[in-house]
Structures are given as C-alpha cells and as structure tokens.
Amino acid sequence: AQTVTQSQPEMSVQEAETVTLSCTYDTSESDYYLFWYKQPPSRQMILVIRQEAYKQQNATENRFSVNFQKAAKSFSLKISDSQLGDAAMYFCAYRETSGSRLTFGEGTQLTVNP
C-alpha cells in the first residue's frame, strides 16, 4: 500500500519569509499524481498545487512551488513571501493514475508570525 509521510507536525515562519514543508512517499508505481492541499481553520480542503510524476519540471503556482525528486520519492512545498493567510494545516497527497484512491500524509500545521 502506498504511504505518505510528513515528518514535520508543526512549522512556523515569519511573515514575508520562505518556508519549506517536507513530504516523502512510498510507491512502486512509475506514474502518479502528487498534491499539496491546504486546510485553514474554516475546514475547507483547498488544492494548492499538483505535480504529475512523468513531468520533470517542478510545478509552480504563484508563491507556491514544489521540489519533486522522483528517485528519492520526495515532494516538498516551498512557500515564498509567506502571508498571514497561509496559516493552515498542509497535507501532502498521492494518487495513482490507475486508481481512484487519494492517500494523505499526516499534515503539517503552519503558523505564520507577523
């Protein structure tokens, strides 16, 4: 079974600084999707960024970018110019291209300090 591990239960960053959240996963598949979701106190699950495993180029969405290392099975999220509104629980997630299951990591609670 695929597993997703987020080794940082909590992280904090100063406003306007950069922070990196770590994620590793275990799979024997060669093609799959990886995602970062954000869950603010409102409880809503919001997609932050996605990466297809066949793409070598790292995905970027405005201030959010990933460092995808396929051989190392690592998928970290970098948040640049952190804003107060970035404070949330961040979940790394994995999905096979051949199946419907989305498997989540345990989450990293990000605090942004003014």
Partner 1 sequence: DTAVSQTPKYLVTQMGNDKSIKCEQNLGHDTMYWYKQDSKKFLKIMFSYNNKELIINETVPNRFSPKSPDKAHLNLHINSLELGDSAVYFCASSRGLAYGELFFGEGSRLTVL
Determine which residue in the list 58, 65, 74, 103 makes contact with partner 1, applying CB under 8 A: 103
Is residue 97 near partner 1 by the rule CB under 8 A?
yes
- DSSP-derived letter for residue 74 is E
Determine which residue in the list 65, 70, 104, 111 makes contact with partner 1, applying CB under 8 A: 104
**Which region, left, alpha or beta, applies to residue 73 given φ > 0 means left and ψ of -120 to 50 means alpha?**
left
Rounded-to-integer distance, Cα 63 and Cα 80, Å: 5
Is residue 89 near partner 1 by the rule CB under 8 A?
yes
Minimum distance, C-beta of residue 89 to partner 1, in the bound complex (Å): 6
Output the CA–CA distances (angstroms, integers) from residue 76 to 3, 36, 49, in the order listed. 15, 9, 11
Query: By CB under 8 A, which span of 20-28, 55-63, 69-77, 92-100 interacts with partner 1?
Result: 92-100
